Amino acid sequence: MDRHLTRILLIEDDEEDYILLQKLLAKIPAARYDVQWERTYEDGLAQMLAGEHDICMLDYMLGEHNGIDLIRIARSLDYIRPIVLLTGASDGDEIDIQALQAGADDYITKGQMQGELLQRVIRYAIERKKAEIEREKLLSEQFATRELEKRRSEFISMVVHELKTPLTSLKGYAQLLRKRYVPGTNEQIARLAERMDSQVNKLTGLVDDFLDVTRITAGKLQFREEYFEFDALVNEIIEELRPTTERHTICREGTTGQTIWGDRIRIGQVITNFLSNAIKYAPETDRILVKTSSDGSTVTLSVQDFGPGVPEEEQANVFSPFYRLEDLRTSTASGLGLGLHIAAEIIRRQEGQIWLESEEGKGATFSFTLPLDREHSTLLGDEADSVEQAT
Ligand SMILES: Nc1ncnc2c1ncn2[C@@H]1O[C@H](COP(=O)(O)OP(=O)(O)O)[C@@H](O)[C@H]1O
Ligand SMILES: [Mg+2]
């Protein structure tokens, strides 16, 4: 039978105790031990650090030195092998506790040393240490991953911020060019400036979505709340988006007549995304309906298109980040698949509901409801504002 060899480093100033240990170990039937014996504190420490053994057993009394000090020093020098302290019956109280606190894994009283107990103490100390190291490794790996994750998202958010600055300038130049155009002169320049402006808007939209998602992930999406007229916001957004599509007629159905409490810009962002999705993903249709209503305590808005819709099995996914349907007809539409995820987060934070109804081939209706009023404090808005500026 192949008996596994356990290498023991024994630090013991008393030769008789060394011989006794050898004898006891030799009697253990199912294991083989190799004992390396060191007599002094200094040689012991040197051998510990050399690390050519599986376990260290050391005496509490080492000449004028104390085994517990040796344990402490070895541990402070990153000694990772298991340590078992050997104590005499007369060594006094609480050495066991001191030993464990200093970094020993177990202790055994010399008077009680006999084969089976000795074998068990050695085996357990080795196994426990192994498990402990394994656990620490796992923990530190997890920690490193989290650290990396954090650095990565900080990096992304920095990159996105850096992209914003030149984009804002570009947008300004494009608008300036359009304004400088004198009607009846160079048509082509006007057209190019217009296209440039719309491409810059697209890019700004993508960057803003990305920025919002990094804020959501970091728990830093902030809201600036006020009372505002819901219908006016809806009309404003429809007017804003009308020039972006030649094909679609955007029809408004119903009004709410309500003033609501919430973040006007963020809620507008949700409506913009619903509408621009309808324009992008139902490109071969002419009509988009924007329906609004109120039941006296909430407002409801729906954007309905008559395009390909979203298949039943995909409907639950459209609100997940980075999710985009694979559809050849619309695969050229620009987008990162973030808009609906951000919309869902905004509506959730504004204490409303968001949902999708769709029958494949017949179109999609995206809706939300929002409470007219809810508990609020202007302080929260102010705080939110200063945090937002700090990001
Ligand atoms: N009106 C719609 N009709 C069909 N599919 C849609 C519609 N709106 C959204 N989708 C699908 O949901 C996905 C996610 O939308 P969104 O989060 O706004 O991302 P993006 O607009 O960047 O693609 C879209 O890529 C599209 O596949
Ligand atoms: Mg979108």
Q: How far apart are CA 95 and CA 73, in angstroms?
A: 17
Ligand 1 pocket mutation pick from 277, 280, 330 by most atoms within 8 angstroms of CB: 277
Using the predicted structure, report yes or no on whether residue 272 has a pLDDT greater than 70: yes
Q: Domain 146-217: give its CATH architecture.
A: Orthogonal Bundle (1.10)
Q: Domain 5-113: give its CATH architecture.
A: 3-Layer(aba) Sandwich (3.40)
| Contact residues of ligand 1, CB 6 A cut-off | 273, 277-278, 281-282, 305, 307-310, 318, 323-325, 335-341, 364
Using DSSP's 3-state secondary structure scheme, residue 358 falls into strand
CA 215 vs CA 158, 210, 224: distances in Å? 12, 9, 15
Domain positions in the chain are: 5-113, 146-217, 226-390
Residue 311: left (phi > 0), alpha (psi -120 to 50), or beta? beta
Helix and strand totals (H; E) in the chain: 10, 14
What pLDDT is recorded for position 328? 58
**Atom 24 (ligand 1) nearest CA:** 324
Domain pair 5-113 / 226-390, same fold: no
Q: With cut-offs at 50, 70 and 90, classify the pLDDT of residue 157.
A: confident
- Measure 86 CA to ligand 2 centroid, in angstroms: 71
Mean per-residue pLDDT over the chain, rounded: 89
Superfamily the domain 226-390 falls into: Histidine kinase-like ATPase, C-terminal domain (3.30.565.10)
Phi, psi of 194 (to 5 degrees): -65, -45
For 99-123, what is the mean pLDDT? 89
Q: With cut-offs at 50, 70 and 90, classify the pLDDT of residue 383.
A: very low
- What is the DSSP secondary-structure string of 274-343? HHHHHHHH-TT--EEEEEEEE-SSEEEEEEEE-SS---GGGTTTTTSTT-----GGGTTS---S-HHHHH
